[in-house]
Amino acid sequence: MNIRPLGDRVVLKRVEAEETTKGGIILATTTKEKPQEAEVMAVGPGGVVEGKEVTMQVKVGERVLFSKYAGTEIKLDGIEYIVVRQDEILAVIDK
């Protein structure tokens, strides 16, 4: 990727709902704030963000759950990505 996120930002590529992970996670459909599954595409350097030291805990290629309403969508070569802050990522799904 040609995009380099600043601070604690992470670039995600949403994983389609049809696609099932090895861990078999399926997103709940009964709650209003549904978490979203995505793949990590690019990770910011962390460091001091808003005056606080942030260590990045996710890596490129990992699957993560993040809040549906988090982040900003961008498009690269026709593919949609989402830029979120690391704190908006709930969990990593180990495979």
Site residues (CB under 8 A) for a copy of itself?
1-7, 9, 11, 21-28, 30-31, 33, 35, 42, 44-45, 47-55, 57-58, 65, 67, 72-78, 80, 83, 86-87, 89-95
For residue 73, the cross-strand partners are 82
Can you tell me the distance from the alpha carbon of 92 to that of 40, in angstroms, rounded to the nearest whole number? 10
Q: Residue 39 Cβ, how far from a copy of itself at the closest point, in Å? A: 15
Contact present, 25 and 95 (Cβ < 8 Å): no
Q: Residue 19 Cβ, how far from a copy of itself at the closest point, in Å? A: 15
* CA geometry: angle 43, 44, 48, nearest 5 deg: 145
Nearer to a copy of itself, 21 or 60 (CB): 21
For residue 10, the cross-strand partners are 43, 84
Q: Residue 21 Cβ, how far from a copy of itself at the closest point, in Å? A: 8
